Amino acid sequence: MIDVHAHLDDARFRSDLQELLEQLRAAGIRRVLNSGSSHASCRKTLKLAAENDFIYAAVGIYPHDTGELEQNGMEELEKMARCPKTAAIGEIGLDYYYDTVARPIQQKWFHAQLELAERLRLPVVVHSRDAMRDTLAILREHPRNTGIFHCYSGSVESLREVLDLGWSISIGGVVTFKNARVLREVAAAVPADRLMLETDSPYLAPTPYRGKRNSPLYLPEIAAEIAALRGITPEEVERITDENALRMFKMA
Protein backbone atom coordinates (compact mmCIF):
# COMPACT_ATOMS: atom_id res chain seq x y z
CA MET A 1 0.00 0.00 0.00
CA ILE A 2 1.09 3.60 -0.57
CA ASP A 3 0.70 6.47 1.90
CA VAL A 4 0.76 9.74 -0.05
CA HIS A 5 0.94 11.99 3.01
CA ALA A 6 2.81 11.43 6.25
CA HIS A 7 5.12 13.31 8.61
CA LEU A 8 7.56 10.66 9.80
CA ASP A 9 10.05 13.42 10.58
CA ASP A 10 7.77 14.55 13.43
CA ALA A 11 9.24 14.48 16.94
CA ARG A 12 6.64 11.90 17.98
CA PHE A 13 8.52 9.30 15.92
CA ARG A 14 11.94 10.19 17.27
CA SER A 15 12.20 7.43 19.88
CA ASP A 16 11.26 4.46 17.67
CA LEU A 17 11.54 5.58 14.04
CA GLN A 18 13.93 2.85 12.92
CA GLU A 19 11.73 0.18 14.46
CA LEU A 20 8.68 1.66 12.75
CA LEU A 21 10.44 1.74 9.37
CA GLU A 22 11.19 -1.96 9.67
CA GLN A 23 7.57 -2.61 10.58
CA LEU A 24 6.42 -0.69 7.51
CA ARG A 25 8.65 -2.79 5.26
CA ALA A 26 7.39 -6.00 6.84
CA ALA A 27 3.77 -4.86 6.48
CA GLY A 28 4.15 -4.25 2.75
CA ILE A 29 3.92 -0.47 2.77
CA ARG A 30 5.38 0.06 -0.69
CA ARG A 31 5.92 3.82 -0.64
CA VAL A 32 5.49 6.75 1.74
CA LEU A 33 5.42 10.34 0.51
CA ASN A 34 6.69 12.33 3.48
CA SER A 35 5.64 15.98 3.38
CA GLY A 36 7.63 18.87 4.74
CA SER A 37 6.05 21.99 6.21
CA SER A 38 9.03 24.24 6.97
CA HIS A 39 12.62 24.47 5.77
CA ALA A 40 13.77 22.46 8.79
CA SER A 41 11.20 19.69 8.28
CA CYS A 42 11.96 19.59 4.55
CA ARG A 43 15.62 18.98 5.31
CA LYS A 44 14.68 16.16 7.70
CA THR A 45 12.31 14.73 5.09
CA LEU A 46 15.02 14.69 2.41
CA LYS A 47 17.43 12.95 4.79
CA LEU A 48 14.78 10.35 5.59
CA ALA A 49 14.14 9.79 1.89
CA ALA A 50 17.84 9.51 1.07
CA GLU A 51 18.30 6.84 3.74
CA ASN A 52 15.23 4.74 2.89
CA ASP A 53 14.45 3.54 -0.60
CA PHE A 54 10.67 3.37 -0.08
CA ILE A 55 10.31 6.92 1.24
CA TYR A 56 9.98 9.93 -1.05
CA ALA A 57 9.88 13.63 -0.20
CA ALA A 58 7.46 16.46 -0.76
CA VAL A 59 9.03 19.82 0.06
CA GLY A 60 7.08 22.99 0.71
CA ILE A 61 6.19 25.66 3.25
CA TYR A 62 2.94 25.14 5.15
CA PRO A 63 0.58 28.14 5.34
CA HIS A 64 1.29 28.78 9.02
CA ASP A 65 5.04 28.97 8.29
CA THR A 66 4.83 31.38 5.36
CA GLY A 67 5.04 34.47 7.57
CA GLU A 68 8.83 34.16 7.69
CA LEU A 69 9.30 33.08 4.08
CA GLU A 70 11.43 35.44 1.98
CA GLN A 71 12.94 35.17 -1.48
CA ASN A 72 16.10 33.50 -0.21
CA GLY A 73 13.84 30.94 1.41
CA MET A 74 12.32 30.20 -1.98
CA GLU A 75 15.80 29.73 -3.39
CA GLU A 76 16.60 27.15 -0.71
CA LEU A 77 13.27 25.45 -1.36
CA GLU A 78 14.07 25.19 -5.06
CA LYS A 79 17.39 23.51 -4.29
CA MET A 80 15.57 20.95 -2.16
CA ALA A 81 12.92 20.48 -4.83
CA ARG A 82 15.62 19.52 -7.31
CA CYS A 83 16.87 16.62 -5.15
CA PRO A 84 16.45 13.17 -6.78
CA LYS A 85 14.02 11.83 -4.16
CA THR A 86 11.73 14.88 -4.26
CA ALA A 87 8.44 13.76 -5.78
CA ALA A 88 6.22 16.80 -5.09
CA ILE A 89 5.92 20.33 -3.79
CA GLY A 90 4.01 20.32 -0.52
CA GLU A 91 2.37 20.66 1.67
CA ILE A 92 1.37 24.13 0.59
CA GLY A 93 -1.87 26.08 0.43
CA LEU A 94 -4.19 28.10 2.66
CA ASP A 95 -5.36 27.69 6.23
CA TYR A 96 -7.96 30.16 7.50
CA TYR A 97 -8.93 28.16 10.60
CA TYR A 98 -6.49 29.91 12.92
CA ASP A 99 -5.40 32.83 10.72
CA THR A 100 -1.98 32.87 12.39
CA VAL A 101 -0.55 34.32 9.15
CA ALA A 102 -2.41 37.05 7.27
CA ARG A 103 -4.36 35.71 4.32
CA PRO A 104 -2.63 37.89 1.68
CA ILE A 105 0.74 36.52 2.83
CA GLN A 106 -0.48 32.93 2.66
CA GLN A 107 -1.85 33.60 -0.81
CA LYS A 108 1.37 35.25 -2.03
CA TRP A 109 3.53 32.26 -1.13
CA PHE A 110 0.95 29.76 -2.33
CA HIS A 111 1.22 31.41 -5.75
CA ALA A 112 5.03 31.41 -5.57
CA GLN A 113 5.24 27.72 -4.69
CA LEU A 114 2.75 26.77 -7.39
CA GLU A 115 4.97 28.61 -9.87
CA LEU A 116 7.96 26.62 -8.61
CA ALA A 117 6.07 23.35 -9.04
CA GLU A 118 5.09 24.31 -12.56
CA ARG A 119 8.64 25.28 -13.45
CA LEU A 120 10.04 21.98 -12.16
CA ARG A 121 7.07 19.97 -13.47
CA LEU A 122 6.32 18.51 -10.05
CA PRO A 123 2.87 17.65 -8.68
CA VAL A 124 1.58 19.54 -5.66
CA VAL A 125 0.27 18.47 -2.26
CA VAL A 126 -2.34 21.06 -1.26
CA HIS A 127 -3.45 21.88 2.27
CA SER A 128 -6.80 23.72 2.34
CA ARG A 129 -8.62 24.32 5.62
CA ASP A 130 -11.66 26.59 5.76
CA ALA A 131 -10.33 28.15 2.55
CA MET A 132 -11.75 26.10 -0.30
CA ARG A 133 -13.12 29.06 -2.25
CA ASP A 134 -9.80 30.94 -2.31
CA THR A 135 -7.80 27.74 -2.86
CA LEU A 136 -9.79 26.89 -5.97
CA ALA A 137 -9.61 30.49 -7.22
CA ILE A 138 -5.81 30.46 -6.97
CA LEU A 139 -5.53 27.07 -8.65
CA ARG A 140 -7.58 28.39 -11.56
CA GLU A 141 -4.79 30.93 -12.08
CA HIS A 142 -2.31 28.06 -12.40
CA PRO A 143 -4.01 25.66 -14.81
CA ARG A 144 -0.82 23.75 -15.59
CA ASN A 145 -0.44 22.55 -12.01
CA THR A 146 -1.90 19.33 -10.74
CA GLY A 147 -1.67 17.16 -7.66
CA ILE A 148 -3.78 16.22 -4.65
CA PHE A 149 -5.88 17.91 -2.01
CA HIS A 150 -4.52 16.06 1.00
CA CYS A 151 -6.85 15.11 3.85
CA TYR A 152 -9.73 16.36 1.73
CA SER A 153 -12.32 18.13 3.89
CA GLY A 154 -14.61 19.76 1.33
CA SER A 155 -18.10 18.90 0.19
CA VAL A 156 -19.21 16.73 -2.72
CA GLU A 157 -20.03 19.97 -4.57
CA SER A 158 -16.49 21.30 -4.04
CA LEU A 159 -15.15 17.92 -5.13
CA ARG A 160 -16.71 18.45 -8.54
CA GLU A 161 -14.77 21.72 -8.90
CA VAL A 162 -11.56 20.02 -7.78
CA LEU A 163 -12.08 17.30 -10.38
CA ASP A 164 -12.93 19.80 -13.12
CA LEU A 165 -9.57 21.48 -12.50
CA GLY A 166 -7.83 18.13 -13.03
CA TRP A 167 -6.90 17.53 -9.40
CA SER A 168 -7.20 14.43 -7.21
CA ILE A 169 -7.81 13.92 -3.50
CA SER A 170 -6.38 11.76 -0.75
CA ILE A 171 -8.42 10.48 2.17
CA GLY A 172 -7.17 9.49 5.60
CA GLY A 173 -8.39 8.21 8.94
CA VAL A 174 -11.15 10.79 9.36
CA VAL A 175 -13.28 8.71 6.97
CA THR A 176 -13.61 6.13 9.76
CA PHE A 177 -15.07 8.63 12.24
CA LYS A 178 -18.78 8.24 12.94
CA ASN A 179 -19.45 11.98 12.52
CA ALA A 180 -17.65 12.23 9.14
CA ARG A 181 -20.84 12.06 7.08
CA VAL A 182 -19.73 14.45 4.33
CA LEU A 183 -16.31 12.85 3.87
CA ARG A 184 -17.93 9.43 3.68
CA GLU A 185 -20.15 10.73 0.89
CA VAL A 186 -17.05 12.07 -0.85
CA ALA A 187 -15.25 8.73 -0.49
CA ALA A 188 -18.14 6.98 -2.19
CA ALA A 189 -18.47 9.58 -4.96
CA VAL A 190 -14.90 10.35 -6.03
CA PRO A 191 -13.93 8.69 -9.35
CA ALA A 192 -11.59 5.75 -8.84
CA ASP A 193 -8.78 7.33 -10.84
CA ARG A 194 -8.74 10.45 -8.60
CA LEU A 195 -8.47 8.73 -5.21
CA MET A 196 -5.41 8.05 -3.03
CA LEU A 197 -4.81 6.98 0.56
CA GLU A 198 -2.97 8.86 3.27
CA THR A 199 -2.52 8.80 7.03
CA ASP A 200 -1.25 12.32 7.81
CA SER A 201 0.81 10.56 10.48
CA PRO A 202 1.17 11.22 13.37
CA TYR A 203 -2.21 12.99 13.21
CA LEU A 204 -5.79 11.76 12.73
CA ALA A 205 -5.45 8.07 13.49
CA PRO A 206 -8.41 6.02 12.25
CA THR A 207 -10.87 4.19 14.43
CA PRO A 208 -10.10 2.13 16.56
CA TYR A 209 -6.83 4.01 17.16
CA ARG A 210 -8.37 7.48 17.32
CA GLY A 211 -6.51 9.72 19.74
CA LYS A 212 -3.29 7.71 19.49
CA ARG A 213 -0.23 8.35 17.35
CA ASN A 214 -1.04 7.57 13.73
CA SER A 215 1.30 5.77 11.34
CA PRO A 216 1.24 4.25 7.85
CA LEU A 217 0.65 0.88 9.53
CA TYR A 218 -2.99 1.93 9.82
CA LEU A 219 -3.57 2.28 6.08
CA PRO A 220 -5.54 -1.02 5.99
CA GLU A 221 -8.23 0.42 8.28
CA ILE A 222 -8.66 3.37 5.95
CA ALA A 223 -8.77 1.16 2.85
CA ALA A 224 -11.32 -1.15 4.45
CA GLU A 225 -13.65 1.74 5.31
CA ILE A 226 -13.45 3.20 1.82
CA ALA A 227 -14.02 -0.24 0.31
CA ALA A 228 -17.20 -0.68 2.34
CA LEU A 229 -18.45 2.74 1.26
CA ARG A 230 -17.77 1.99 -2.41
CA GLY A 231 -19.01 -1.62 -2.35
CA ILE A 232 -15.69 -3.13 -3.42
CA THR A 233 -12.94 -5.10 -1.70
CA PRO A 234 -10.06 -3.56 0.26
CA GLU A 235 -7.71 -5.23 -2.22
CA GLU A 236 -9.36 -3.32 -5.05
CA VAL A 237 -8.99 -0.04 -3.14
CA GLU A 238 -5.32 -0.84 -2.60
CA ARG A 239 -4.76 -1.61 -6.28
CA ILE A 240 -6.54 1.51 -7.52
CA THR A 241 -4.94 3.93 -5.09
CA ASP A 242 -1.46 2.45 -5.57
CA GLU A 243 -1.74 2.87 -9.33
CA ASN A 244 -2.92 6.45 -8.94
CA ALA A 245 -0.11 7.34 -6.52
CA LEU A 246 2.62 5.83 -8.69
CA ARG A 247 1.28 7.61 -11.75
CA MET A 248 0.95 10.99 -10.04
CA PHE A 249 4.19 11.06 -8.08
CA LYS A 250 6.38 8.80 -10.25
CA MET A 251 7.76 6.95 -7.24
CA ALA A 252 9.74 4.24 -9.05
pLDDT at position 233 over 90: yes
pLDDT at position 67 over 90: no
CA dihedral over 144, 162, 189, 245, signed as positive or negative: positive
Give residue 99's pLDDT band: very low, low, confident or very high (50, 70, 90): confident
pLDDT at position 216 over 90: yes
What CA–CA distance (Å, rounded) separates 22 from 2? 15
**Selection from 225, 169, 231, 217 nearest residue 28 by Cα:** 217
Q: For residue 84, what pLDDT is reported? A: 97
Backbone dihedral angles phi then psi of residue 117, each to the nearest 5 degrees:
-60, -40
* pTM recorded for the entire structure: 0.96
pLDDT digits (tens, 9 = 90+) for 27-58: 999 999 999 999 999 999 999 999 999 999 99
Q: Which CATH architecture has domain 2-249?
A: Alpha-Beta Barrel (3.20)
| DSSP codes of every residue in 26-59 | HHT--EEEEEP-SHHHHHHHHHHHHH-TTEEEEE
Give residue 172's pLDDT band: very low, low, confident or very high (50, 70, 90): very high
Compute the average pLDDT of residues 213-228: 98
What CA–CA distance (Å, rounded) separates 58 from 32? 10
Average pLDDT, the chain: 97
pLDDT at position 25 over 90: yes
What CA–CA distance (Å, rounded) separates 40 from 104? 24
Domain ranges of the chain: 2-249
Going by C-beta distance under 8 Å and a sequence separation of 6 or more, which residues neighbour residue 85?
A: 46, 49, 50, 55, 56, 57
